[in-house]
Amino acid sequence: MAKGRVLIIEQDEWESALLAKFLREASYDVEIANEARAGFDRVRALEPDCILCGVNLPDIDGFWVARRVRAEPGRVRATPFLFLTDAEDVAGRLQGLNVGAVLFLTKPFHADEVVAQVGALIDMATRVKQTSEMPNGPPSSARPTAFQGDVGQMSVTTVLTLLELERQTGRLKVRYPDGPTATVELRDGALVDCTLDEQPHEPVALLRQVLGWKQGSFQFRSSDIDRTAGERQSLSGLLLQAMQLEDEAHRR
């Protein structure tokens, strides 16, 4: 039985064939498109569980595909979207985040990494989606955590992007080993409040700190959030600001 359906949109036939080989050997159904328009048509027809997309395509770039996918109605809009990039393409990563990418796979590709990232994303997207079907209410010991995971295996950027796409309401806690705990409150996929060790914190500053954590754990619980609490802010916009500031700091 297949673990899920993956669509690869990549103009390089050798790279797309290599990725398909990795995933098929891991029991995924895989389809390939070599151009942006054809790829988007396959997205609508297949409704894949995950999309791997190159940035440079013969007709239009991969950013166009991502924007169209995120504008689609129904379940397709929240499909995990991975861009295939070069390691040094910082500008492409920032633009990818701006159009709704949740992860970046850098060339050269390694079988274990590709399979692990696709599997983790499909699993995470499934768990995030399931929380939207849970009744809202205050967290309690009788109510199980919606999902939790390891920051080393799934980045905070990826988790927040999936929560935004599914328009989740609840609290995400990120704990650094023997260090601080960051809490982000979401309402309908937008940030309304955040704290560091229960002290109010400026959102972009908090995200810059948390995005630098390469280890730790995260836990999300679906719950009611006070409708009168803070102004809603776009998570993708805040993440983009945080990543741009980090990029500028590293270039100095």
Return phi, psi of residue 89, to 5°.
Answer: -85, 70
The residues with which 124 forms a beta bridge, in sequence order, are none
Instruction: Name the band, by pLDDT with cuts 50, 70 and 90, for residue 141.
Output: very low
Return phi, psi of residue 80, to 5°.
Answer: -55, 130
Model confidence at 142: pLDDT above 60: no
Instruction: Name the band, by pLDDT with cuts 50, 70 and 90, for residue 143.
Output: very low
Least-confidence region, from 46-55, 87-96, 122-131: 87-96
CA 225, CA 171: separation in Å to the nearest integer?
8
- Identify the CA nearest to 220 among candidates 125, 108, 152, 111: 125
**C-alpha of 173 from chain center:** 16
| pLDDT for residue 68 | 92
Whole-model pTM: value is: 0.80
- Residues 85-119 have pLDDT tens digits of 875 566 666 666 666 666 778 888 888 989 988 99
Cβ 8 vs Cβ 35: under 8 Å? no
Q: Which CATH number fits domain 5-130: 3.40.50.2300, 3.40.50.300, 3.30.420.40, 3.90.550.10?
A: 3.40.50.2300
- Residues 150-199 have pLDDT tens digits of 998 888 888 888 898 888 999 999 999 999 999 999 999 999 999 999 99
| Burial status of residue 200 (CB atoms within 10 A of its CB: 0-12, 13-18, 19 or more) | exposed
**What is the number of other CB atoms lying within 10 angstroms of the CB of residue 235?**
21
Strand 170-175's sheet: what is its strand order? 147-150, 217-222, 170-175, 181-187, 190-196, 199-200
| pLDDT for residue 140 | 41
The number of CA neighbours under 13 Å toward the Cβ of 244 is: 12
Helix axes 235-251 and 156-165, enclosed angle (nearest 10):
150
Element (H, E) at 187: strand 181-187
Q: Where are the alpha helices (DSSP H) in 6-47?
A: 13-25, 36-46
Strands 29-33 and 5-9 come out as: parallel
Give me the amino acid identity at 193: D
Element (H, E) at 57: none
Sorted by where each begins, the domain ranges of the chain are: 5-130, 136-251
**What is the number of other CB atoms lying within 10 angstroms of the CB of residue 133?**
7
